[in-house]
Amino acid sequence: MPQDIRKFSRSNILVSPSILAADFCELGRECDEVVKAGAEMLHLDVMDGKMVPNISFGVPVITSLRKKNDALFDVHLMIDRPLFYTPAFVKAGADHITFHIESSDDPVKTIECIHAHGCTAGMSLRPGTPAEELFPYLDQLEMVLVMTVEPGFGGQSFMADQLPKIAAFRKEIVRRNLNCHIEVDGGIGAKNVDLVVANGANVIVAGTSVFRHPEGMAAGVKVLHDAQDKLDSAL
Ligand code: DX5
Ligand code: ZN
């Protein structure tokens, strides 16, 4: 059964654990465990070694995971040609596909291709790219993804200077009355989840703080859901 991010409300915190921080020898089992721990979706970071200086995993890994797991697959493409590769990732089992404005393909064509293949679409931007560059596309997107680290690696330190960007998206989405989730990704955990949520993010990506939480994944997921009161007062 395909899952649809539009079934979730913007007024709820949704947790999307990045499997980059999982033990790849135990990937299937750890994905099951994190969903049972309360995560609403799985964040799948695809890197091509070109758009970002790292190579992660691609279509075959997602295809295998899909056979065993029916969670919402939140695919984050950090690749140069998202338009070309979209059909393959949809076939592999993606439910939602986010691509970067810094990639080489035409954004409108890429969004249209993702939608035509039955997935919801998201766009992301590097820390150095201003929020305004995504504003022209917001009414076609189900989610924007604000990077709070330079894309490419898990386990980096959170960049607090990206908080005003989250707030800028929230302001624009509210002003235009759009139904667009704000996802945030990079270095998020107990120390900063309240801040990102208070600024308007409601979909929280977390790799290290969930998969490597000293008290287990359920504790890592709970810390993020516990920021719900900050979202309630932010909205
Ligand atoms: C970075 C990835 C992130 C990252 C998150 O390029 O997009 O999803 O793996 O991992 P943590 O939470 O460890 O920063
Ligand atoms: Zn990511």
Note the pLDDT tens digit of each residue in 158-200: 999 999 999 999 999 999 999 999 999 999 999 999 999 999 9
Task: Answer whether 156 contacts ligand 1 (Cβ < 6 A).
Answer: yes
Task: Answer whether 146 contacts ligand 1 (Cβ < 6 A).
Answer: no
How far apart are alpha carbons 108 and 126 in whole angstroms? 19
What is the structure's pLDDT at 2?
A: 74
Tell me the DSSP string of 96-138.
EEEEETTSSS-HHHHHHHHHHTT-EEEEEE-TTS-GGGGGGGG
Task: Answer whether 53 contacts ligand 1 (Cβ < 6 A).
Answer: no
Average pLDDT over residues 214-232: 97
Which atom of ligand 1 lies at the shortest distance from residue 18's CA?
8
CA–centroid distance, 75 to ligand 1, in Å, is: 12
Neighbours of 220 (CB within 10 A): 27
Note the pLDDT tens digit of each residue in 59-78: 999 999 999 999 999 999 99
Whether 189 and 155 have beta carbons less than 8 Å apart is answered as no
Determine which of 14-18, 40-44, 163-167, 228-232 has the lowest per-residue pLDDT on average: 228-232
Instruction: Give the chain's mean pLDDT.
Output: 97
Among 182, 81, 170, 178, which residue's Cα sits nearest to residue 139? 178
What is the structure's pLDDT at 103?
A: 97
What is the structure's pLDDT at 234?
A: 81
pLDDT band for position 26 (50/70/90)? Answer: very high
Note the pLDDT tens digit of each residue in 63-117: 999 999 999 999 999 999 999 999 999 999 999 999 999 999 999 999 999 999 9
How far apart are alpha carbons 17 and 226 in whole angstroms? 15
* Rounded-to-5 percentages of helix, strand, coil across the chain: 45, 20, 35
Task: Answer whether 207 contacts ligand 1 (Cβ < 6 A).
Answer: yes
**What does the radius of gyration of the chain's CA atoms come to, in whole angstroms?**
16
Which residue's alpha carbon is nearest to atom 6 within ligand 1? 151
Which atom of ligand 1 lies at the shortest distance from residue 207's CA?
12
What is the structure's pLDDT at 1?
A: 63
Both tokens of 136, joined, read 């022209």
Neighbours of 69 (CB within 10 A): 17
Which atom of ligand 1 lies at the shortest distance from residue 21's CA?
13
pLDDT band for position 32 (50/70/90)? Answer: very high
Whether 65 and 17 have beta carbons less than 8 Å apart is answered as no
Note the pLDDT tens digit of each residue in 122-135: 999 999 999 999 99
CA–centroid distance, 18 to ligand 1, in Å, is: 6
Both tokens of 122, joined, read 């998201």
Q: Supply the residues annotated as catalytic.
A: 45, 185
Per DSSP, the chain holds a count of helices (H) and strands (E) of: 9, 8
Neighbours of 55 (CB within 10 A): 12
How far apart are alpha carbons 136 and 72 in whole angstroms? 27
Task: Answer whether 107 contacts ligand 1 (Cβ < 6 A).
Answer: no
Residue 30 has pLDDT above 70, yes or no: yes
